[in-house]
Structure formats: structure tokens, C-alpha cells
Amino acid sequence: MPTWFAKQVDENKFAADPAEGPADTEQSVPGAATHRQRRVIHAPLLASAPAVPAGSGIRIKAQLGSLEKQVVLMIDRPVLTGYSFWCASPADAANWSPLALALFDSGGVASVLIHENNITVTHQDTGQESDDAMARRFGQLVRVHLESGLPTMAECFLATMPSEEQVKEALQGAIDDEINPGIAAHSGEITLTAVKGNTAYIKMGGGCQGCAASSVTLRQGVEQSFRTAVPQLGALLDETDHAAGRNPFFTVLPAGMGT
Amino acid sequence: MPRLETLEMTIETGKRGLDRAPAYAINGHQLDFNEISGGNGSRETMRLVGSPQSFPHSLTLTGPDDGFWDIEKIEASFHVSDGGPYTVRLGAVTLDRETCLNLWYDRPPQLLDV
């Protein structure tokens, strides 16, 4: 145990001597003992690059994901409004979305999410194409599709769409029966905050808020349960402020570290 | 999570300044800055350098002990272990004795015109 941590525990406060420094490999325990608990607030994040002047053509920016093989295409106009669409197979894309099918047909695509101005393409890691090249290929394909006047979604897309109430009821059932009992062991809880069209908004509370594994819980737990409960579910958006709160990472000292 | 070696900040103070040297906290552990230059009075600009040498689960700028501190703008540069430095720019905010300002931002995602 680093000397600064022992001192902190002994004196029931954090050391203020910078020469001692914080831990390098051990996680600090903000809630265990502190100089004064303050509420963490956020300042507006300013854009670091000037906006591109408007032009007549379709402008698309691609954001490359750092944690998973994902490209988010941000288009300067709405692509799908009121609803969202997600699919993970060319067969589903063929049924519902000519635009998603075009992306699948271009190769290397694992899933497509279309929501308002954004198209999120999760791709397979073939190692044969750089992320930049893949993003440019997807962007060009979307631009050509939109400029050609082809529809984003098939006409039958809304025909089998459940109502917001039905979506809400089914998702709440998944939360109550499957998700929250499963994450209760970690003191976590999921709250369904809103359903708009077929887009769901959730908040992660308790032990999930600020947890380093919350994104895994969201993708591999919550999202899979939700999509089983509502196959037509589009985007699933996490509204949790994971950095907020006085003590988002720990609520108690880990076992054996309090004495 | 990268190791944060050095944090460099430029803070432009607004109408109400800070009446003591600013401090920051990493993972709840409060530290002083290693270098401070410029002024932290009303409408002044100061440059701060800290060397936390640690893995930030949380990184905050500590508010004043009393009164208010109006900040007009912050430019924070992070020198981390997993690549070159990166910079984020924050807008106006006011801190008081009950608050601290979140300073930790992951490396901004790469954006391309495609």
C-alpha cells in the first residue's frame, strides 16, 4: 500500500502534499475519506475546429470509435426522423432499409444503426482496410445513396412498428424480470426514462453509474435483452452522466482496506 | 485508461477571481499545481502545470473556499501515456465552495470529412 494511501486512511483525510503523489496502479477511493466532498459540475465543451461553411452538396463527417470497430457518420441533414432503425444482418436490411442493405453489400459490415442525422456502422475487423479508408468508403456510399433519391427505409418499415406504449411496456418488463435482478448483485439498476418512436432512453444508476464496465453491461446485457423483448427497437441511448455525483466510482472501501 | 503525466491549463478568469492559489484533485486526492504563472484575479489569465503521474478516474478543479470564482474559458492540455498530447477547451462556468469542475476528458474522437 502506498504511503500516501496509508496516511489518508490513518488520518481520515487525503494528504495534501504533492510530493507524495497519488497511486499509480491502485484506484483511489474518493468516498472513503476526503478533504471536502464537492459536487462535480461540467463546463460547456467548446468546439476546437471551425465549422465547415454550408454548401449545396451533402456533407458527412465520420467519427472513428476508439473502443470498438465503429464508424459514426454524421450527415448534415436528417436521414430518419421520428424513428430509428438497427439491424445486424443483410436479410433484415433487405426487408426494411435499402440504405442499410447498400452498406451491408459493400462488405465488412456487422451492424447498422440509423438515427436522425447519424448512421453508426459497426464493422468487422478484417485487417485489410484502414479505419480511415473504411470510413471514406461508407461515407461515399451513403452520399451516393442519398443523392440518388433512393429511400432510406422501405415503405413497409412502419407497418409492423409497435406503439410507443407497447415498446415501453415490453422494455419495462425486460428491466423488471431480467435486467435489474441480474445487476442487483452489483447494486446497479436500470431505469427506462423515455421511449420516442422506437428509440429507448435509459439511465444507469447505483453501482452502474460511473462504473468502468457500464458500457459492457449496456451492450452485452441491456441491449440484448431489449432487442429480444422488442425486435423493432432502434437506438438505445444511455442518458447517464457517469462522471456526475459526489462519489461515482465507489461507495464503500473495498473489503480489507478500511482498517 | 491512460496514465496522465502532465496537465497544462490556461484559465481566463471572469468578473470574480480566486483569492488563493488554485488546486486540483485526482481521484479525490487534492494536489497543488507545480507551476503557476499569471494572475487569478478578476479578468486575469493564469497558466498552470500539474504533474499527477496517475490514472485519472476523476480529475477536478477545486472551487473557492468562500465566495465565487467566475471562469470565462479554460484550455486544458493532457500529456498522457498512450499517445501524443491533446487539448480540450471549456466555456464559462462559476465555482463555489460546494463545487468542483470536471477536468477529465478522454481523447476527442478523430473526425474526418468523408
Domain that includes residue B78, residue range: 4-102
DSSP string over B45-59: EEEEEE---B--S-E
Between CA B56 and CA B62, with CA B60 as vertex, the angle to 5 degrees is 145
Tell how strand A199-206 and strand A236-238 pair up.
parallel
Q: What is the pLDDT along chain A (259 residues), one digit of tens a residue?
A: 333 333 333 443 333 333 333 333 333 334 333 456 899 999 988 876 555 555 568 999 999 865 568 899 999 999 999 999 999 999 999 999 999 999 999 999 999 999 999 999 999 877 788 888 999 999 999 999 999 999 999 999 999 899 999 999 999 999 999 999 988 877 788 899 999 999 999 988 877 776 766 777 777 789 999 999 999 999 999 888 765 544 444 433 334 443 3
pLDDT digits (tens, 9 = 90+) for B43-71: 999 999 999 999 998 899 999 999 999 99
Q: Sort out which chain A residues have CB atoms less than 8 A from B60's CB and list them.
A: 38, 40
- Does the residue B111 lie in any domain? no
Where in the sequence of chain A do the CATH 3.30.1370.70 domains occur? 60-158
Q: With a CB-CB cutoff of 8 Å, which residues 56-115 of chain A face chain B?
A: 59-66, 73
A164-238 adopts what CATH topology? GMP Synthetase; Chain A, domain 3 (3.30.300)
pLDDT for residue A196: 94
Asked if residue B110 belongs to a domain, the reply is no
Q: Under a CB-based contact definition with an 8 Å cutoff, are residues A85 and A98 in contact?
A: no
| Distance separating alpha carbons of residues A243 and A40, to the nearest angstrom | 8
Residue A25 pLDDT: 34
ipTM of the complex: 0.92
Instruction: Please give the model's pTM, rounded to 2 decimal places.
Output: 0.66
Is B31 among the domain residues? Answer: yes
B interface mutation test: which of A9, A13, A36, A120 has the most B CBs within 10 A? A36
- In chain A, CATH 3.30.300.130 sits at 164-238
Contacts of B112 in chain A (CB under 8 A): 61-62, 64, 132, 135-136, 139
Domains: count for chain B: 1
* Structural fold of domain A60-158: Ribosomal Protein S8; Chain: A, domain 1 (3.30.1370)
With a CB cutoff of 8 Å and minimum separation 6, the contacts of B82 are B2, B3
* A23 grid coordinates: 497511486
Strands B110-113 and A60-64, bridge-based pairing: antiparallel
Distance CA A7, CA A13 (A): 8
Residue A113 · residue A86 · CB < 8 Å = yes
Give which of A61, A127, A141 is closest to A98, Cα–Cα: A141
B70 lies in some domain: yes
